[in-house]
A and B are shown apart, each in its own frame.
Chain A
Amino acid sequence: MYRSLYTNRRSFIKKMAVLSAMTAAAGMFPGIVFAEEQERGIPTDANLDWKKAPCRFCGVGCGVLVGTENGRAVAVKGDPKSPVNKGLCCVKGYHSIMALYGKDRLTKPLVKKNGTYVETSMEEALDLVASKMKETIADHGKDAVSIYGSGQWTIPDGYVASKLFKGCIGTNNVEANARLCMATAVTGFLTSFGLDEPMGCYEDIDHANTFVLWGNNMAEMHPVLFSRLLDQRLRRGAKIIDFATRTTRTSMAADKSILFNPQTDLAVANAICHEIVNNGWVNTEFVKEHCNFSKGLTQMGYGLEDHYKFTDKPESITFEDYKAFLADYAPEKVARLAGVSVKDIKYLAAHFGDPNKKVMSLWCMGMNQHSRGTWINNLVYNIHLLTGKISSPGNSPFSLTGQPSACGTVREVGTLTHKLPHGVVMNKEHREFAAKIWGVPVENIPAKPTYHTVEMFRALDRGDIRFMWIQVTNPMVTMPKLKRYRDGAKKEGRFIVVSDIYPTPTTDIADVILPSAMWIEREGLYGNSERRTQYFEQMLEPPGEAMSDTWQLVEVAKRLGYEKQFHYGRESHIEEIYNEYRKHHEGKKHNMAPLEVLKSQPGALWPYVDGKSTKWRFNAKYDPACSNGKDFHFYGKKDGKAVIWQRPYEPAAEEPDSEYPFWLGTGRVVEHWHTGSMTRRIPVLHQAMPHSYVELNPGDAKRMQIRTGDKVRLTTRRGKIVLPASVNERGVPAPMQVFVPFFDENMLINDITLDSFCPISKEPDYKKCAVKVEKA
């Protein structure tokens, strides 16, 4: 038997209860102070220096105040001036500074020699990295070197990575782990609107009458924002509808919980559109003025094979064509497939169809880690476009993110193979624009994207890539079908550099480990889910020889001979880099706030025009970039119109069968942030959730005589894993489904997941594969 998961559960839940109440209070009484809770643990005689920063963890971007004393961070509290969290934090935020002080912080560079790691100086380690890059390029070509970063990269980190690899070296082998979490949101936005990122902002929460959560366990993943939803229910009677495949804390807190069978959200979304069209709920004037109808290719496959390629071929259709397509999605036809009653489908549709209700849709990994993820993003936009419930306060389809700068760095700087800070590598004008700012010949930037993340690790396995620099991410925990990619990375002739703050399964595969400065040990900027760019200054000295990822890249760039492009001063480089980066986004559609503004306030929303943040894009009342003389202008598309897409239901890549009869889905828990490399070093969080587990439906568990704590063996076509069972504890999966969190490096669930992905976004589907479940 394993020890119960929840030794300290009740005290932990009490903490959550307090935080929920504090959030509600903050919404009702701006500036309210709960000194006892917020300053608990601060020495009474402390003389602290409080400075602002965005939280290090998720994509919500809460403002925190960090108290330092004698060169050490000793306290943290929510920033009451931050419009994001209004003075509150979740449990991770309140404990964030403890992640700086884990006992096993990496402080010296390590180089693998004869199978063991040997300490060396930073100068020597950076020399070695640069020489190995030169050697690899000389022997195998420039497309044999690559960099893999993340949505935890600060904006300057990602910017210099892109400039070095795309602009100077001349390879598009730049990817980031955000490919695994929100690439689908990007392609959803681009296909529907032509421009990435939400049109609205968190202020929508204060106006919406109904919140529809699409496969989004906000109570655990975005607790501060969820508290804002609860507060609006308390104050204004707003409704929360949880539409999910598993019963979670969010379901329990919602006004209505609707469960659907995995993958069938596609069918239900179309059924909602069917109801909107057939009940006369279409906002005809809005659709006529501002929308087009299109369809794309179907039966695209799932990307399971190496070198898989797919390019959609959009084709215009009429409203009548679209209406005919929806005939197959009448609620009566969809109910059986989706496991959702006709009544519940109509209930959902009625919320969107009611002209007197403002509706906000929120989603995150449930819709993005989906083998038809771009499609389901399009379908939710369809619902909002058909009803005209978009780009106005409270009417908002809102894609949330999970990392502090997934938007700011990966999406806006463009650290993906096809992207540039402004535009894409395939576009000659965009390449010319980037090359001019970067001070490189335009010919340097290749016109073709190379590898998306899964294919990049496949290329490493095959030997097409020989050198990979991994910064601030942990792919040896997060890659699906992990064993193949771990074995591939360990092959002879591969050279792996890992920059991180703690040892992880990814540093285990490294030839060189570079110790990184973390968060407030350096200066930087993050961009959150609502287009808010936030600045933080260096408050602490990094330990030992630890160095920021930005400066590591600058040092290597200089060693490679790019002194001219990387001329930045050590003391001023963040300001110089940010000012250079801002040039890529000049103009009313994406202007970034000046650094001095970001230093003076808790961030600003882009487009930042004439000294003001833009809260609702594409709405002429709020967005100065609208220029068509109408009330709305979807200027991301040439004709100024958004696209309503005809996208059908198609099954997942691998569905349960007689041999593997259960669905396996993976995800996160409130205590740990992603792979747990930081939060597992925070004692209170680690003790609250010390290891992973497999959640079973109580009926299935009873039939199989499995109780909480019993060992359970999960087997897929990729391998096996044994985990302790969790029955009727936190989450409750539907019958014949199991759920496993991925934070535990000692129980690597991704060894058995499937590397299928959305053919358009190339984002893997971590939520669906077939598994056999046995008592071990």
Chain B
Amino acid sequence: MPIKSYLAHPHKGKKEYLIQALSAIDECEVLPAENVEVIILVTETDTRQEEADLKEKLEAIPSLKLLAMVSGFDTPKN
């Protein structure tokens, strides 16, 4: 099932809130940029349902302005 990477853009001044919110979600790993208001987000889910649930959780984060997908690998979990 999918492993995807995104560039997550926070609302102005909300980068730390966004890092915290994303870090609290099990399926998410974050890698914040040091000097720019952008965060790399990598998600990993096992089922289509999990993927749909995650999408809902992400859309509900108030500090998230824009989520732009960069890559998606649909790979079997051995």
Q: How far is the CA of A249 from the CA of B4 in the complex (A)?
A: 14
B22 within 8 A of A: no
Q: Which residues of A contact B4 (CB under 8 A)?
A: 17
Q: How far is the CA of A9 from the CA of B75 in the complex (A)?
A: 9
- Whether A20 and B70, one on each chain, are in contact in the complex, defined by CB atoms closer than 8 angstroms, is yes
> In the bound complex, how far is the Cα of B32 from the Cα of A466, in angstroms?
60
A residues less than 8 Å from B48 (CB atoms): none
CA distance A20 to B36 in the complex (A): 17
Indicate if B21 sits at the interface (CB-CB under 8 A).
no
Tell me if A10 and B71 are in contact (CB < 8 A).
Answer: no
Q: A25-B38, A31-B35 are in contact. Are A17 and B71 (CB under 8 A)?
A: yes
Asked whether, in the complex, the Cβ of B73 is within 8 Å of the Cβ of A17, the reply is yes
B33 contacts across to A, CB distance below 8 A: 25, 29, 32-34
- Measured between beta carbons, the chain A residues less than 8 angstroms from B42 are 14, 17-18, 21
CB distance from A408 to the nearest CB of B (A): 31
Cβ of A1 within 8 Å of any chain B Cβ, yes or no, is no
State whether B78 touches A4 (Cβ < 8 A). Answer: yes
Chain A residues near B38 (CB-CB < 8 A): 25, 28-29, 32
B36 CB contacts on chain A under 8 angstroms: 25, 29, 32
Interfacial residues of chain B within 13-53, with CB under 8 A of chain A in the complex:
29, 31-36, 38, 40-42, 44
A649: min CB distance to chain B, Å: 35
At the interface, yes or no: A37 with Cβ under 8 Å from chain B?
yes
Is A304 interfacial (CB 8 A cutoff)?
Answer: no
**Residue B6 contacts which of A10, A21, A231 (CB distance < 8 angstroms)?**
A21
Q: Closest CB of chain A to B75's CB: distance in Å?
A: 6
The secondary structure that dominates the A interface is: helix
A234 at the binding interface (Cβ < 8 Å): yes
Is A75 an interface position by the 8 A CB rule?
Answer: no
Measured between beta carbons, the chain B residues less than 8 angstroms from A729 are: 76
> A residues within 8 A CB of B31?
18, 21-22, 34, 36-37
By size class, the interface of chain B is 20 to 34
- Chain B residues contacting A234 (CB-CB under 8 Å) are 68, 70
Closest partner residue, chain A, to B69 (CB atom): A234
Which chain A residue has the least Cβ–Cβ distance from B40?
A21
Is B63 part of the binding interface, using a Cβ–Cβ cutoff of 8 Å? no
**Residue A230 at the chain B interface, CB threshold 8 Å:** yes
The residue that B7 contacts in the complex, of A24, A31, A33, with Cβ under 8 A, is: A24
Min C-beta distance of A36 to chain B, whole Å: 6
Contact B40 A32 (CB under 8 A): no
Say whether A253 faces chain B, with CB atoms less than 8 Å apart: yes
- Considering the complex, give the chain A residue whose CB is closest to the CB of B43: A17
Contact of B3 with A230 in the complex, beta carbons under 8 Å: no
User: A25 to chain B: which residues have CB within 8 Å?
Assistant: 7, 33, 36, 38, 40
Chain B residue nearest to A31 (CB atoms) is B35
Cross-chain contact of A10 among B41, B68, B75 (Cβ < 8 A): B75
Q: A29-B33, A33-B34 are in contact. Are A13 and B40 (CB under 8 A)?
A: no
Task: Please name all residues of chain A whose beta carbon is closer than 8 Å to the beta carbon of B44 when the two chains form the complex.
Answer: 10, 14
B77 CB within 8 Å of chain A: yes
In the bound complex, CA of A9 to CA of B76 (Å): 9
The distance in angstroms between the C-alpha atoms of A193 and B33, with both chains bound, is 45
Is A122 positioned at the interface, with any CB of B under 8 Å from its CB? no
A33 touches B5 (CB 8 A): no
Query: Which listed residue, A7, A21, A249, touches B70 by the CB 8 Å rule?
Result: A21
In this assembly, does A6 line the interface, its C-beta being within 8 Å of a C-beta of chain B?
yes
Tell whether, in the assembled complex, residue A9 and residue B78 are in contact, meaning their CB atoms are under 8 Å apart: yes
> Closest A-chain residue to B78, C-beta based?
A4
Q: Number of A interface residues, CB 8 Å?
A: 32
CB contact under 8 A between A230 and B75, given known A17-B42, A29-B33: no
Q: Taking the nearest CB of chain B, how far is it from the CB of A26, in angstroms?
A: 10
Q: B70 — which chain A residues lie within 8 A by C-beta?
A: 17, 20-21, 24, 230-231, 234
Say whether A20 contacts B71, CB under 8 Å.
yes
How many angstroms between the C-alpha atoms of A35 and B35 in the bound complex?
9
Residue A48 CB within 8 A of the other chain: no
- Cα distance A29–B33 when bound, in Å? 10
Name the distance in Å between A746's Cβ and chain B's nearest Cβ: 22
By a CB distance below 8 angstroms, the chain B residues around A16 are 71, 73
A interface footprint on B48-68 (CB within 8 Å = 1, 0 otherwise): 000000000000000000001
Q: Which A residues lie within 8 Å of B7 (CB)?
A: 21, 24-25, 28
A213-238 to B contact mask, C-beta < 8 Å, 1/0: 00000000000000000110010000
When distances are taken between beta carbons in the complex, the residues of chain B under 8 Å from A34 are 31-34, 40
Establish whether residues B35 and A10, one from each chain, have CB atoms under 8 Å apart when the complex forms.
Answer: no
Complex contact A13–B73 (CB within 8 A): yes
Contact between A13 and B34, CB atoms less than 8 A apart: no
Given A10-B75, A29-B36, A35-B34, answer yes or no on A17-B3 (Cβ-Cβ < 8 Å).
Answer: yes
In the bound complex, how far is the Cα of B34 from the Cα of A22, in angstroms? 12
Smallest CB separation, B59 vs chain A (Å): 19
Residue of B nearest to A253 (CB): B71
Collect the chain A residues with CB atoms within 8 Å of residue B35's CB.
31-33
Instruction: Tell whether, in the assembled complex, residue B78 and residue A21 are in contact, meaning their CB atoms are under 8 Å apart.
Output: no
Q: Shortest Cβ distance from B54 into chain A, in angstroms?
A: 15
**A249: chain B residues within 8 A (beta carbon):** 73
* Closest beta carbon of chain B to A235's beta carbon, Å: 9
- Cβ B5 vs Cβ A10 within 8 A: no
| Other-chain contact of A13, B3, B29, B32 (Cβ < 8 Å) | B3
Assembled-state Cα–Cα distance A28/B37 (Å): 12
CB distance from B32 to the nearest CB of A (A): 8
**Shortest beta-carbon distance, A576 to chain B, in Å?**
42
Q: Complex Cα distance A231/B7, Å?
A: 11
A28 to B71, CA, bound (A): 16
Task: Give A34 to B34 CA distance when docked, in angstroms.
Answer: 6
Q: In the complex, what's the smallest C-beta–C-beta distance from A242 to chain B, in angstroms?
A: 15
Question: Closest CB of chain B to A69's CB: distance in Å?
Answer: 22
Name B5's contact: one of A20, A31, A32, A36 (CB within 8 Å): A20
Q: How far is the CA of A13 from the CA of B73 in the complex (A)?
A: 7
Cα separation A252 to B75 with both chains bound (whole Å): 12
How near does chain A come to B18, taking the closest CB pair, in angstroms? 15
A21 touches B5 (CB 8 A): yes
Q: Complex Cα distance A253/B6, Å? A: 14
Residues of B within 8 A of A14 (CB): 3, 29, 42, 44
Q: Which residues of A contact B78 (CB under 8 A)?
A: 4, 6-7, 9-10
Looking across the interface, which residue of chain B has its beta carbon closest to that of A15?
A: B42
Contacts of A4 in B (CB 8 A): 78
Complex: A566 Cα to B56 Cα, angstroms: 70
A32-B38, A37-B31 known; A21 vs B71 contact (CB < 8 Å): yes
Question: Nearest 6 CB-CB pairs, A to B?
Answer: A17-B5, A20-B71, A21-B5, A33-B34, A21-B40, A21-B70
| CB<8 Å pairs between A and B, sample of 8 | A10-B3, A10-B44, A13-B3, A17-B42, A17-B73, A22-B40, A29-B36, A253-B71
Q: Which A residues lie at the B interface, using CB under 8 A?
A: 4, 6-7, 9-10, 13-14, 16-18, 20-22, 24-25, 28-29, 31-37, 230-231, 234, 249, 252-253, 728-729
Query: Could you list 13 further interchain pairs (A-B, Cβ under 8 angstroms) beyond the known A10-B77, A14-B42, A37-B31?
Result: A6-B75, A6-B78, A9-B78, A13-B3, A13-B73, A16-B71, A17-B4, A17-B5, A21-B5, A21-B7, A25-B7, A33-B35, A34-B40
